[in-house]
Structure 1
Amino acid sequence: MMFGRLMRMNEGAGHLCPRRAIEPALAAIETRNIAEIVARVVGTLDYPVDNLDELMFTLPVCVMAAVTGVPFSQLKEVAKRTRDFVGCLSPLSDEVQLGAAHRGAIRLSEIFTTLLGSGELKSRFLSDILSRCEAAAWGDHDALIANLIGLLSQTCEATAGLIGNTLIALQREPHLIEGVQPTPMIVADLVAEVARYDSPVQNTRRFVAKRCTVGGRVLEEGDTVLVLLASANRDPDVNPDPDSFLLRRTQRRTFSFGAARHECPGRALALTIACEAILVWLHSHPVPFARLLRWSYLPSHNGRIPTFYPDEETR
């Protein structure tokens, strides 16, 4: 039931209200304030600069939860429950993961129900959403909670992949920042090129609602279209010399977040969170790659998300 309420999964009339309330609120978030939130969140975590799993998965979700107004005392629990929840989004999930996802969804629903029912001042982001819901006379409480949880789940794996793939890019090409002060502008360019060159979301699917013609091919109602986002990023017609990693690439076009009406409204926020996470890591490692990073990729049909091993382990 929760999955079916997510605005990103459907463009029907029932999904327009959460989209119209949440998308403008996301676009209105001041990304320059994210650095301050990241700094506060880092202080609540255990080992975010040494534990890459925590840097990749826990930090971004905690930041998104904090933006939503979740108390800092609950951020780590929300991150854990969100990671449990995303287990139900993959067809590769087993029964154990599905059970944990179900429990995670229930607990996240409880947390957001309490947050929405609280008489205390809401975050600016959540207040903006509630104001838009009220203006549209839309009061589907369960759908709103489902979509708030959806924001956390989208932040979880995709941003983790973006952070992890950036670390891999630096491991493979350390000259990108050698002898250079890692300023926010340089790291922003680095993360943006990683999003294009090594997309954390490789593909997505679209389902044909009615018979149509796309690219000269007739598609029938019910057909599934596999959209290769990572391949589009390497199209030489939109990104010249597409197989080269260029930090200062001009007029970069990236399709990892979709495009046009399907573009992810959290694109700028995701890039900013990843950038701030990488800055935290770089500032804590004077010699960033004095040790060799080892990694493999999590099993997924559409994601490219690395998992890193301690030095003493082998792949």
Structure 2
Amino acid sequence: MDPIIAATHADPYPYYAQLRAAGGLVFHQQLQLWVASSAAAVAAVLAHPDCHVRPFAEPVPKAIADGEAGEVFGRLMRMNDGPRQQCPRAAVEPGLAMIDQDDVRALVRARLLTADADGLNKAMLRDPVRVVAALLGFTPDQERMISDLTADFVACLSPLSTTAQLAAAHSATEQLRGYFIELLEIPGVHSSLLTGIRQRAADLDRETLIANLIGLCSQTCEATAGLIGNALVTLIQNPQLPGGADEFLAEVQRFDPPVQNTRRFVAAACEIDRVSLARGDTILLLLASANRDPLLNEQPDTFLIDRPNRRSFSFGAGRHQCPGQLLALTIASATLTQILAMKPALERLSWVYRPSLNGRIPVFHWFE
């Protein structure tokens, strides 16, 4: 086991505990990077101004730098620091906080769900992006295309992407740009979310606005899928758990988060958690480990729906905290409610985790 393989291990949490016991911020010789495993170390790195989301010498991954996907990647607020992050965020974040949760639930209820494994996988991996596309003003037919194209785009964000996936991502990005260009040209589009974003984005160039609308869809894609999927896994393993979907998911995102780790790159020599770091160092932040730190949450390895003072790094913290946390939880809660209302035979489900270096997304299959 290593801190990266752990993300898709059946149960990485005892290993995370071993890492915390060895020190909150420790250099991993095999991976040649620093590993932050404690809540204190993760919080300190996320808050430090010299810890950036991309390495200075490679603002866009080399594998996609020369294509359409790289053009979008370079403009994403979550892949930038400073004004290139704050300006798009100021345009997008307020609208996400004002979305009517009843509208989201209605859009989820309108999706056709089936109680088999394929239906559950679709509800996780495709429908959340369709909901966001609907909130932005796309038609039902367009929603399906936006969801499929977003899945192709997201594939290029992983170092595990194949040559074929990279080519598909560039093609998907070009098509996504076309859909958003057309949407932005429609006068009086019936979307309060998009209208508000456009008003706050008056100083943004069109390509940056489009990139971050694509980014809104792409962030919804895998993180929300993992949240829904890990909730189902938790129910399969603990069928007696009580409580409503909202309270249940609030603990799932802490207990078994869809994003297990993230990275920061040291832009200037600094000291964090009594460790001296050099410019160019890479830090792997184990968000899932920090969530299980007993100094952050009491009884961290116990699933408590009514947990008092719940604290979590699952959606990040500080200047790069995910602006769509409420939206993701609302979509996941509505989806889980719909799934459970169909009374699927959860005891017949098996699962494997999708290959990933940081995501924890189960894919379900029936077994006899």
- Counterpart code for 1:231: S
Deviations 1:158-178 (A, max 9, x none): 10001001001110110014x
Query: Aligned ranges for residues 298-313 of structure 1 at < 5 Å?
Result: 298-311=354-367
CA distance in 1, matches of 2:190, 2:199: 11
- Counterpart code for 2:256: D
Matched, 1:188 2:253: no
Q: Does the 8 A contact of 1:48 with 1:54 survive in 2?
A: no
Matched, 1:154 2:219: yes
CA RMSD of aligned residues (A): 1.5
Q: 1:293 aligns with which of 338, 349, 356?
A: 349
- How far the C-alpha of 1:33 sits from its partner, in A, is 2.5
Matched, 1:78 2:136: no
Q: Does the 8 A contact of 1:48 with 1:59 survive in 2?
A: no
Matched, 1:93 2:174: no
Deviations 1:17-68 (A, max 9, x none): 211111112122222321112123x1xx4x4443111110111110111111
- How far the C-alpha of 1:147 sits from its partner, in A, is 0.6
CA distance in 2, matches of 1:290, 1:147: 37
- How far the C-alpha of 1:154 sits from its partner, in A, is 0.6
- Counterpart code for 2:79: M
Evaluate the alpha carbon distance shift between residue 125 and residue 99 of structure 1 in structure 2; reply closer, same or farther with a 3 A threshold.
same
CA distance in 2, matches of 1:98, 1:203: 23
Matched, 1:61 2:121: no
CA distance in 2, matches of 1:66, 1:99: 27
Q: Does the 8 A contact of 1:193 with 1:246 survive in 2?
A: yes
The DSSP-based 3-state class of the residue aligned with 2:323 is coil
Residue 129 of structure 1: aligned partner: 197
- How far the C-alpha of 1:107 sits from its partner, in A, is 0.9
Query: Aligned ranges for residues 106-117 of structure 1 at < 5 Å?
Result: 106-117=174-185
Residue 33 of structure 1: aligned partner: 103
- Counterpart code for 2:293: D
Deviations 1:208-246 (A, max 9, x none): 222221111122222211111001100111211101111
Q: 1:212 aligns with which of 270, 294, 297?
A: 270
TM-score, structure 1 normalization = 0.90
Residue 310 of structure 2: aligned partner: 252
- Counterpart code for 2:92: I
CA distance in 2, matches of 1:239, 1:290: 29
- How far the C-alpha of 1:13 sits from its partner, in A, is 2.2
- Counterpart code for 1:18: P
- Counterpart code for 2:214: I
- Counterpart code for 2:98: A
Structure 1 stretch 19-28 or stretch 151-160: which is displaced more?
A: 19-28
TM-score, structure 2 normalization = 0.77
CA distance in 2, matches of 1:31, 1:254: 22
Query: Identity across aligned pairs (percent)?
Result: 50
Residue 281 of structure 1: aligned partner: 339
The DSSP-based 3-state class of the residue aligned with 1:5 is coil
- Counterpart code for 2:297: N
Deviations 1:182-201 (A, max 9, x none): 7xxx1111111111111110
- Counterpart code for 1:308: F
- Counterpart code for 1:299: P
Q: 1:165 aligns with which of 206, 215, 230?
A: 230
- How far the C-alpha of 1:290 sits from its partner, in A, is 5.8
Greater RCO (Cα-Cα under 8 Å, separation 6 or more): 2
The DSSP-based 3-state class of the residue aligned with 1:175 is coil
